[in-house]
């Protein structure tokens, strides 16, 4: 059992190391774009399925409540939480539309969409990104594998090049936490330090 634990940890460490090496600049850009949206009275939308839906909600909570720094709440909305909206769209139209229709209803030019998909091919996330692009919303993809369809659709693709979902999710949540930290730094700490 301990050998299994060590093997999984080593696999995770390898994926995360490669992901950060490949995407450090992109992660910084993501934080800058999100900070600019918040500074301009715009919002961050987040979406994904399964574990990625949980990550979307987790990161939205970090922005709305706080991450580590005591600061005002920031307007982040997980599109995965309103069961009445999600089930009515899924029932009346298609599961592929559950995020796209929410973006159509609430998204505006200047907002940001953080689209999370471990395969890069989630149809409902793809549709959300397409709608966001038409509305002038900057799109960031937290993706896995080779990036899938979303890699060429988002403005900024952050890809964990691995096909094991759990390892991709581990890289994604680390990236999310770094983005939260950097966004707080840009909006609040940087100015306090006179940088």
Q: Is the pLDDT of residue 44 over 70?
A: yes
Q: Find residue 171's DSSP bridge partners.
A: none
Rounded to whole angstroms, the Cα distance separating 175 from 57 reads: 15
pLDDT for 193: 56
Average pLDDT over residues 125-141: 98
Measured CA to CA, the distance from residue 49 to residue 179 in angstroms comes to 20
How much is the pLDDT for 192?
Answer: 53
pLDDT value at position 40? 97
Residue-wise pLDDT for 152-173, tens only, equals 999 999 999 999 999 999 999 9
What are the pLDDT digits (tens) for 79-96?
Answer: 999 999 999 999 999 999
Q: What is the pLDDT of residue 195?
A: 47
Greater model confidence, 30 or 192: 30
Percent of the chain with pLDDT over 70: 97
Q: What is the mean pLDDT of residues 41-70?
A: 97
Look at residue 189 in the predicted model and tell me its pLDDT. Answer: 81
Residue 194 has pLDDT above 60, yes or no: no
- The whole-number pLDDT of residue 97 equals 98
Per residue, the 3-state secondary structure of the chain, as one string, reads CHHHHHHHHHHHHHHHHHHHHHHHHHHHHHHHHHHHHHHCCCCEEEECCCHHHHHHHHHHHHHHCCCCCCCCCCCEEECCCCHHHHHHHHHHCCHHHCCHHHHHHHCCCCCEEEEEECCCCCHHHHHHHHHHHHCCCEEEEEEECCCCHHHHCCCEEEEECCCCHHHHHHHHHHHHHHHHHHHHHHHHHHHHCCC
Sign of the torsion angle spanned by Cα atoms 35, 37, 43, 44: negative
Q: Is the pLDDT of residue 177 over 90?
A: yes
Q: What is the mean pLDDT of the chain?
A: 96
The band of 144, judged by pLDDT with boundaries at 50, 70 and 90, is very high
* Domains of the chain as residue ranges with CATH: 2-192 (3.40.50.10490)
């Amino acid at each position: 059992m301990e050998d299994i634990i060590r093997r999984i940890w080593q696999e995770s460490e390898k994926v995360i190391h490669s992901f950060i090496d490949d995407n450090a600049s992109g992660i910084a850009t993501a934080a800058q774009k999100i900070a600019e949206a918040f500074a301009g009275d715009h919002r961050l939308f987040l979406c994904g399925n399964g574990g990625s839906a949980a990550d979307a909600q987790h990161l939205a909570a970090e922005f709305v409540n706080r991450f580590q720094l005591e600061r005002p709440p920031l307007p982040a909305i997980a599109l995965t939480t309103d069961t009445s909206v999600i089930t009515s769209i899924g029932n009346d139209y298609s599961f592929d539309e559950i995020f796209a229709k929410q973006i159509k209803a609430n998204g505006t030019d200047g907002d940001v969409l953080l689209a999370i998909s471990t395969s890069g091919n989630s149809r409902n996330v793809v549709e959300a990104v397409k709608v966001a692009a038409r509305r002038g919303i900057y799109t960031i993809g937290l993706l896995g594998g080779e990036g899938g369809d979303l890699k060429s659709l988002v403005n900024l693709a952050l890809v964990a090049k691995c096909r094991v979902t759990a390892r991709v999710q581990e890289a994604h949540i680390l990236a999310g936490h770094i983005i939260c930290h950097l966004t707080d730094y840009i909006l609040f700490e940087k100015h306090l330090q006179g940088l």
